Amino acid sequence: MPTETAAPRPALTTLSDEEVMFRAAVSEFAELEVRPRVRAMERAGRLDPALIPQYFSLGLMGIEVPEQYGGAGGSLIMVTLAVEAISRVDASAAIMVDVQNTLVNYPIARYGSDDIKARYLPRLTSETVGAYALSEASSGSDAFGLQTTATRVGDHYVLNGRKMWITNGAEAEIYVVFANVDRAAGYKGITAFVVERGFPGFRVGKKEDKLGIRASSTVELLLDSCEVPVENVLGPAGQGYKIAIETLNEGRIGIGAQMIGVADGALSAATAYIKERKQFGKVLADFQAIQFQVAQAATDLEAARLMVYNAARLKDAGYDIAREGAMAKLFASQVCERVTSRCVELFGGYGYTTDYPVEKFYRDAKIGTIYEGTSNMQLQTIAKAVLR
């Protein structure tokens, strides 16, 4: 594995022919299968169940998983391209693919025993949705202040607690859950478990009613003396904090991809609109003031895309990307907010209505500054890396 140095790292953003073809295939799927469903899913507040089997059949739910477990044996840059392409159409549809690959498959493939990988990865790549459960009501940014406990009783652990803000939670059957096996040890007692929906004492609770990504399920999980076999410990007991940090580093690339996709979708819609909308006898695209706004948005978006791609490439090359991942997520979410806001304005009054897609892109943008680490937490991570 390449070692950390103070020297600048190379920019690794060029796509291969295979990656370009993969992105085109996912984009076609998003246009043909996701776009016609977006408005209905938004109104219903849930993904169309018919989409999920298609994700699996296309191999989108196991991109990085080794082929021996049914995956594509691909890379993080391929996950990035898939999430970006789907997010151009609908962020809710994209986040299911993102979470499955970066927050569920990745830690199981990276830290799971041979038995865990053999039992769960084939299911996760072929038919079963997964979810990642770290956050709690009193431990969001302070993730390692979690209160969920795990007590060893014979050949199983008993988990008690309540998890919040769990993406994919309503559809999932397999969960990566974090609990503390030794509260006296603080964060060093945190342990990761693979928990199945059917385990005794496990229950899915309330579904959140959200501002954006409304079709994506966000739920609470209730662990009431939930029995988890000892063999379902993910990695050594007490190493959950390490697993959580490394997993979130990868996950932040996925969120960056989601944000550049959302911004691109909004900008594409706005660009098409200003080429047709007339004011003062000519189309809006002929006004220099409008041209400059679009040019700035496109420049910001391209910069964010390059940061996200580069972070993904570095991760694939074996680098520690705590800094680059935080930078990519931070900047991509900032750009997405700016670009989608500007696109609403370019539509004028129409942009504030549900007749056009930009108001949804605008609402979907906000979550990027919050989940998988708020912008302030990304700044803290970046500052530590820069000032060490």
Other CB atoms within a 10 A radius of the CB of residue 235 amount to 19
CB contact set of 211 (below 8 Å; sequence gap of 6+)? 363, 366, 367
CA 352 – CA 359 distance, rounded (Å):
6
Question: Dmax over Cα atoms in the chain, in whole Å?
Answer: 79
CA 85 – CA 23 distance, rounded (Å):
7
Active-site residue flag, 359: no
CB contact set of 84 (below 8 Å; sequence gap of 6+)? 23, 94, 257, 258, 260, 261, 264, 305, 308
CB contact set of 268 (below 8 Å; sequence gap of 6+)? 88
- Owner of token pair 């594995």: 1
CA 144 – CA 233 distance, rounded (Å):
18
Q: Which residues are catalytic, by number?
A: 372
